[in-house]
Structure 1
Amino acid sequence: MSPKIEQHRMPSTSASAGVEVRVLAAGPADEPLPLILLLHGAMSSAQSLDLHAPLIHRLWATGALPPCVVACASTPTEGGFYLDWPQGPRWGSVVGDELPDFVSQIHPIDRSRLAVVGASMGGFGALKLAFGTPDRYVAAAALAPAVFPGSTTAEVPERNRQAVLGQLLAALDQLPGERVHERLFANLDAIRQRRMALFLGVGERDEFGLRDGSEHLHAQLLAADVSHQYLVVAGGGHMDAGMAELQRTALTFIGRALLQPAAESDLAEVAP
């Protein structure tokens, strides 16, 4: 019988309220397992795990993904964005700090094998966590992440500020240190030393213009000599078959990283 999704309510001081959490686990109940944090996109919720579950089960069945725990927490879009707001709430802390602690109370977790993956707004959150605290993660994957081809609002073309992206961009102007590129360069030495397995992917024809931001970040990573895998899905859009391909490739990539201890392998060279 396939593992079933668990539903929980996580107490949170960072959010000042309970947070919906969904968990999917496969493996020995008494053995510490790797943990994958799944960050959902804008206008979504922890139910994103339900959509990923069939793929996760297939990867478990083939051995492409080792026995592990996958957890997803509901976060808001407006007023959320995986940002730590100065006066609260602190959604980055909810997913990066409180979620792993909460899951470890339910399942034995091997904190030395922690990974994070997210798409769209969740991709922004995944990069923010990975670059902000690189010592925690052995692998990170961002699919069509909500990143921009510029460092300030003035540098970002209007076409890259559609809808919720414009709201995120405006929020970042008010929150120093929350931008992905700022965290990358603030922790560059630690990121290079950690050499986590890093995957970045996007659809060629992403309708929100997120390929532009991904290309910009890819160039920054190359210039900074940060090892990573970068994939552009030919003809792919934002939420179509191209995204499905990215999800499969990203989870397989993370699975390869989790299958080998960091001390015995160069995780940055893990192939998709």
Structure 2
Amino acid sequence: MKGWLPTILRGMLLLVLIAFLVAPESFEPLLKPLVQPGAPVIYNQGSLLDLTILHLRTVFIATLVATVVAVFLAILVTRPFGLEFLPLSRSLVNIGQTFPPVAVLALAVPAVGFGEKPTLIALFLYGLLPIFENTLTALTNLPRSVMEAARGAGMTGFQRLVQVELPLSLPVVVAGIRLSTVISLSTATIGSTVAARTLGEVIIAGLQSNNLAFVLQGGLIVGALAVLIYDGLVAVEAILTRRVHSI
């Protein structure tokens, strides 16, 4: 029973989240004590479902591009011809951690304008480091016996990469993607300060109108998404790990 409890709780959280996004007015009695008399209880300046979808889309695009770039750089610097680029690559992926996301947004707006683009740039830069470091660690700590067996079988460098190195590294790479995604989910809320359509709109509207219910709605949706996506990627990581150990 104990083993099933976390799964049951996650399922309940998912059902509550879906119910709230589809019919938020049903939860009005629970949130009404948090607002002043006459103030709206449920966010009324847009659809919570639409904002959630747009929020997830922004995070997905930024994480996908960050994954492609970070994995490519990690592969590059673990090849004999690319070792000299390791310091440069580390400097590039650390840019997002050097500057706060707000500073990146401020620098990006003059170049690309307001909206989703500066948010994507900030999330992309912020998401590079965990994916790059995890991929680099995985590729440089592969079992020596497996690599020697692959060379002994006559595999080319590209064949070893595609058929041996990347499959064995996948669990650790997914762990980096998991961390990057969770960071981006929360960080994306600040994109609304530069007119990006994210759940940050709900939080900002609540702060501007002193409406705690709005703030709670935006924060809880982002928190629920982070928990569910984190757990989903943990499950994927566990499946990949079992497959690697069975090889």
Name the TM-score, length of structure 1 as normaliser: 0.26
Higher-strand-fraction structure: 1
- Bigger-Rg structure (1/2): 2
**Which structure is higher in RCO with an 8 Å CA cutoff and minimum separation 6?**
2
Name the TM-score, length of structure 2 as normaliser: 0.28
Higher-helix-fraction structure: 2
